[in-house]
Amino acid sequence: MPAYNRERFIPAAIGSVLRQTYGDFELIVWDDGSTDGTIEAARSAAGDDPRVRIFAGEHAGISGAINSGAKLAAGKYFGTVDSDDALMPTALAEATRYLDEHPDVAMVYTDYLAMDEGGNVKGAGNRTKIPYSKDRLLIDFMTFHFRLMRREWFERLGGFDAAMDAAEDYDFCLRLSEQAEIRHLAQPLYLYRVHANSVSTSNRLHQIMLAKDAIARALERRGMSREFEVDVELVGKFRLRKR
């Protein structure tokens, strides 16, 4: 669980992990140089549960935070939970069962529910409606949340690319799809919080341009760059909110 200035949301994120029906896990919380009370909030939420370890690092971005935390992980499966999101109670049980029963699969991802800033569930996320294929992944990031993978594959691919922060997970999924099997578990097992300070909201344009770079890299790796190039269409959408 990478965290940067998530004092308000991280207790719910940690609590959702601790309430998993599958209890044989370790939760590594890596604070990415927060300037608020994230560390204290995380420690309070974790209590004395020995499965939770909390570390404080210098601010290095989400890729650095996840890669640093991953080096400390001991389990054969590895996944991330954003510090402003939450897992449904059976998320680990269902995803672990799938990987146990399908040894040829490197990563499984689930459906997700969108919730607002206050935690009110609004319904199924839009990406859950997109069927998976490694070709469709070139234009639609449907391998969203929750993702559980074999840690050997995370290490084999060198983890997340720090140069792709804000689109690091999309870039990783594209790279993984070119070498291994990814499967979709059609159950809503993740709660994705939409709020004004999320990366997808506050840094949207930067994220879109990095996603474009990730697609361009994938086209090059797949030998498709002579035939295709990435075209981005930006659509403005405006709304009013109270100050």
> Mean pLDDT in runs of 10 for the chain (243 residues)?
96 98 97 97 98 95 94 94 97 98 98 94 92 96 95 96 92 98 97 77 78 96 94 77 72
Q: Domain map of the chain by residue range? A: 2-221
Q: CA-based Rg of the chain, rounded to a whole angstrom?
A: 18
The greatest distance separating any two alpha carbons of the chain, rounded to the nearest whole angstrom, comes to 56
Q: What is the pLDDT of residue 198?
A: 59
User: By three-state DSSP, how is residue 2 classified?
Assistant: strand
Say which DSSP state 179 is in: T
What are the strands of the beta sheet with 2-3, ordered from one edge? Answer: 2-3, 27-32, 52-57
Tokens of 61: 């971005």
- What is the model's pLDDT at position 220? 97
pLDDT at 239: 74
Distance CA 191, CA 16 (A): 10
pLDDT for the residue numbered 207: 86
Tokens describing residue 73 = 């992980």
- Helix axis angle, 168-177 to 62-70, nearest 10°: 60
Fold of 2-221: Spore Coat Polysaccharide Biosynthesis Protein SpsA; Chain A (3.90.550)
Contact yes or no for 96/147 (Cβ under 8 A)? no
